Structure 1
């Protein structure tokens, strides 16, 4: 890293709730938030936001008439962004760079407008502006009255961490002093669930833990979808209120055999983790928050990559998808939030059904991974402020 990059706050909206104390309390518990739901006759495991939080978020729609026509992916991002800048001590109206992406974007709203088109043969007036991917960052900028650049993007499941990479680039080059980055996803619709089922990667067994992420002995895929948003506030330099420092970033893309393939040895992950490490010794990394979606090939590929990079003395490994589901574009920053909290509280959060993981005595540096369709991988290395 050319200059230190401080993470001065992190905020989220997920099945775990939205208040930091509440989120951490739920991480300390071995219970998960995955339940079977009926999606137009198709029963599938999913992790929705809790009802009390849904009601709270719906209240935002009453603040501004324009908010009544925004997708939940935008609503989640607005809520998490408000929390993040408040905790960082930023003010509305500042020149803040914003890069909040989504794998799917305005999923439910797009499907609603498309169904209306099929039924009536014409589109509603707001169908186009309300379903563009740029809605997320642009509405967050409007809500915060920010005057800086606003960027929305999709890099499938690594979208959120790609937003962090972009933030680092803007801050390092001096093009921004403050940057808001993250991902938001609200894609728990019957059509999305049918797509996952068609790929045969969804959890189908009624186990105590339906998503068997990081269980390398599982006999079938066990991915479960969730929804939510996660946002970090980043600033150039080492700030007094820094929760963590970004000590390294890495990225890579590998050649695909087919649209959803991943190499057995996690080639892209190996490259991204090595880039993030830079000159730091691999032995200095105490833990890795893995992407680990709960699929057989996906989990094993990333594990093999970690073995290749770290050698015999493996860091402690964990993931949060067994608890809150795979939130697509928001997942990487939700993993980053877990890593930041583990550093803050000096407490490693294990996967409860994995017994052979070595828990670290001290947490100083944690690697966070994400990968998505398209063969792209991202790794972000964070550490305690000095």
Structure 2
């Protein structure tokens, strides 16, 4: 029998705020998290892009120093968001062997890795920290969350670029269906706003270069879009079977109704222009949810603001929804948050859940002149979703041809 999987807690630390409530309020207010970078390395390396969407609240302001010093920033963000989600879920009493962690990252501890390399070159091997490897490994965030909450069912890590944390949600859904845990903390994190990544993404022409106006740089679907804005932060969700949640009297936000994962097998960085893998992932998510395209009331799109990527996603959505795609309210929230890479899917999942709770599709800022080749129903103002049953689809696509889609339903 298929179990109903529900969300009972959410947490986030993002470029818009240090909590879910702060991030959601700023998103609805049309704020941008993109700002000029105030680091000496920007001018030192003469970076062509001088802005990004850094987390609004630094992790050292939240975590105790002994905890923070043993974690890469990516793991720090993960733990902060997980702590908020766990408290929001009412700190459920669950046997450690029945509590699991599915936590993702796209890159992992890049700051730890490159700081250690600098230390080795400048000061020699004896000065490299003994905790370097445990801090830089991609599974460090999942491990930190697992150890903090004594989660012993499993602590699994997905690393599928920008699809990572949505894929972790799909994995958590499957693991709960299989009975491997009663409660799972799932999500994703990233802290990769580093000179090497800024330089590398710039080199491949992926980043917007609107250095004179960072707040308007990310502009999905606009005819003058010129690339994405790097972001950082993390988001977490507490997932459990409905039976377990109701038995403990938990507040339920929504149902994780299903998910889909596919691969393009097309190009290491470019989307399949026909959107075949992406459309297949959407169809899989709807099938798992026992739903049809006409049931969908809102879409949180991947929408990175790249000239090619936005069109490829529209093509995929048109394949699934046909002409009705122009009627479904769509939000492109990266316009406000920037692109959190491996953490972005989890943050957009939180936004999708809150859209269901508040019956509102958040605005897409910076939409100047909409590209006529992408005739989606997208607006610079929040769009009401109505009082009926809601089914929201959240898309994430990553380098390597990874596609992951989650579907959330009102309860």
TM-score range for the pair, normalised by the shorter chain length: over 0.9
Aligned partner of residue 176 in structure 1, secondary structure? coil
2:263 to 247, 253, 256: 253
2:209 to 204, 215, 227: 204
2:377 to 337, 347, 357: 357
Q: Does residue 172 in structure 1 map to residue 177 in structure 2?
A: yes
Partner of 2:50: 44
Deviation at 1:353, TM superposition (A): 4.0
Provide the rounded CA distance (Å) in 2 between the counterparts of 1:289 and 1:70.
31
Provide the rounded CA distance (Å) in 1 between the counterparts of 2:30 and 2:235.
22
1:297-352 alpha-carbon deviations (Å, 9 max, x no partner): 11110011111110111221111111010000000011111111111111121213
Provide the rounded CA distance (Å) in 1 between the counterparts of 2:254 and 2:142.
24
Q: Tell me, yes or no, if the aligned pair for 2:396 and 2:405 is still in contact at 8 Å.
A: yes
Which is further off, 143-152 or 293-302?
A: 143-152
Provide the rounded CA distance (Å) in 2 between the counterparts of 1:180 and 1:309.
31
Partner of 1:79: 80
Q: Tell me, yes or no, if the aligned pair for 2:335 and 2:365 is still in contact at 8 Å.
A: no
Q: Tell me, yes or no, if the aligned pair for 2:173 and 2:258 is still in contact at 8 Å.
A: no
Taking the TM superposition and a 5 Å limit, the aligned residue runs for 1:71-220 are 71-91=72-92, 94-95=95-96, 96-122=99-125, 123-205=128-210, 206-207=212-213, 209-215=216-222, 217-218=223-224
Cα distance change of structure 1 residues 66 and 16 upon mapping to structure 2, 3 Å threshold: closer
Cα distance change of structure 1 residues 270 and 120 upon mapping to structure 2, 3 Å threshold: same
Provide the rounded CA distance (Å) in 1 between the counterparts of 2:221 and 2:355.
19
Q: Tell me, yes or no, if the aligned pair for 1:319 and 1:335 is still in contact at 8 Å.
A: no
Structure 1: stretches of 5+ with no match in the other structure:
none
1:242 to 252, 272, 275: 252
Q: Tell me, yes or no, if the aligned pair for 2:4 and 2:257 is still in contact at 8 Å.
A: yes
Deviation at 1:92, TM superposition (A): 7.4
Deviation at 1:94, TM superposition (A): 4.0
Partner of 1:368: 394
Aligned partner of residue 272 in structure 1, secondary structure? helix
Provide the rounded CA distance (Å) in 2 between the counterparts of 1:286 and 1:366.
6
Q: Tell me, yes or no, if the aligned pair for 2:332 and 2:364 is still in contact at 8 Å.
A: yes
Q: Does residue 277 in structure 1 map to residue 279 in structure 2?
A: no
Deviation at 1:48, TM superposition (A): 0.9
Deviation at 1:361, TM superposition (A): 4.2
Partner of 1:268: 277
Provide the rounded CA distance (Å) in 1 between the counterparts of 2:67 and 2:90.
27
Deviation at 1:117, TM superposition (A): 1.6
Q: Provide the aligned C-alpha RMSD in A.
A: 2.0
1:108-150 alpha-carbon deviations (Å, 9 max, x no partner): 1111001112223424422222211121111112222333311
Partner of 1:378: 404
Aligned partner of residue 317 in structure 1, secondary structure? strand
Partner of 2:302: 291
Aligned partner of residue 240 in structure 2, secondary structure? strand
1:337 to 326, 339, 350: 350
Deviation at 1:14, TM superposition (A): 0.5
Which is further off, 10-19 or 357-366?
A: 357-366
Provide the rounded CA distance (Å) in 2 between the counterparts of 1:33 and 1:124.
33
Provide the rounded CA distance (Å) in 1 between the counterparts of 2:284 and 2:299.
15
1:174-205 alpha-carbon deviations (Å, 9 max, x no partner): 11110111101011111110011011111113
Aligned length: 377
1:213-268 alpha-carbon deviations (Å, 9 max, x no partner): 232x23x5221001000001000126442101012211110122x32111112111
Structure 2: stretches of 5+ with no match in the other structure:
371-375
Provide the rounded CA distance (Å) in 2 between the counterparts of 1:302 and 1:324.
19
